[in-house]
Structure 1
Amino acid sequence: MTSTPPKLQIDIVSDVMCPWCVIGYQQLAAALEATGTPHDIRWHPFELNPNMPPEGQNIREHVAEKYGSTKEQSEASRVHMTQAGAEVGFEFRYSDDKRMHNTFNTHQLLHWAETQGRMHELKMALFSAHFTHGRNLSDNAVLADVAAKTGLDRAEALAVLADQRFANEVRAAEHHWINQGIQGVPAVVFNRRHLVSGAQGVENFTSVLNQLAAMPKDAVPAS
Structure 2
Amino acid sequence: MSEPISIDIWSDIACPWCYIGKRNLEAGLAATASDEDAPEVRITFHSFELSPDTPVDFDGDEIDFLAGHKGMPREQVEQMLSHVTNVAAQAGLEYNFDKLQHTNTVKAHELLHHAKAKGLQHEMEERLMSAYFTEGRHVGRIDDLVALAAEVGLDAAETAEVLQSSQYLDAVRADQAQARAYGINGVPFFVIDGKYGVSGAQPAEAFQNVIRDVWAQRGADSEEELAG
Q: Do both proteins adopt the same fold according to a TM-score greater than 0.5, normalized to the shorter chain?
A: yes
Over aligned residues, Cα RMSD in angstroms? Answer: 1.7
Could you tell me which of 8, 11, 14 is aligned with 2:8? Answer: 11
SS of structure 2 residue aligned to 1:99: coil
2:67 aligned partner? 64
1:82 aligned partner? 85
Report the Cα offset of residue 5 of structure 1.
Answer: 4.2
Report the Cα offset of residue 190 of structure 1.
Answer: 0.5
- What code does the residue aligned with 1:92 have? Y
Answer yes or no: is the 8 Å Cα contact 2:21–2:188 preserved in 1.
yes
Report the Cα offset of residue 169 of structure 1.
Answer: 2.2
Long gaps (5+) in structure 2? 34-38, 223-228
Answer yes or no: is the 8 Å Cα contact 2:12–2:48 preserved in 1.
yes
The range that moved more, 71-80 or 125-134, is: 71-80
Question: 1:41-66 CA deviation, whole Å, 9 max, x = no partner?
Answer: 00000000111122235321221122
SS of structure 1 residue aligned to 2:17: helix
For the pair 1:176 / 2:178, whether they are aligned, the reply is yes
Answer yes or no: is the 8 Å Cα contact 1:57–1:101 preserved in 2.
no
Q: Percent identity?
A: 37
TM-score, scaled relative to structure 2: 0.88
User: Aligned partners of 1:112 and 1:98: how far apart in 2?
Assistant: 24
User: Aligned partners of 1:51 and 1:15: how far apart in 2?
Assistant: 14
User: Aligned partners of 1:135 and 1:24: how far apart in 2?
Assistant: 21
Long gaps (5+) in structure 1? none
Answer yes or no: is the 8 Å Cα contact 1:57–1:99 preserved in 2.
no
Number of aligned residue pairs: give it: 215
2:102 aligned partner? 100
User: Aligned partners of 2:15 and 2:128: how far apart in 1?
Assistant: 11
- What code does the residue aligned with 1:87 have? Q
User: Aligned partners of 1:6 and 1:150: how far apart in 2?
Assistant: 28
2:125 aligned partner? 123
2:226 aligned partner? none
Report the Cα offset of residue 196 of structure 1.
Answer: 0.2
Could you tell me which of 198, 204, 207 is aligned with 2:206? Answer: 204
User: Aligned partners of 1:85 and 1:212: how far apart in 2?
Assistant: 27
User: Aligned partners of 2:66 and 2:59: how far apart in 1?
Assistant: 10
- What code does the residue aligned with 1:48 have? L
Report the Cα offset of residue 86 of structure 1.
Answer: 1.7
TM-score, scaled relative to structure 1: 0.90
The range that moved more, 73-82 or 101-110, is: 73-82
2:20 aligned partner? 23
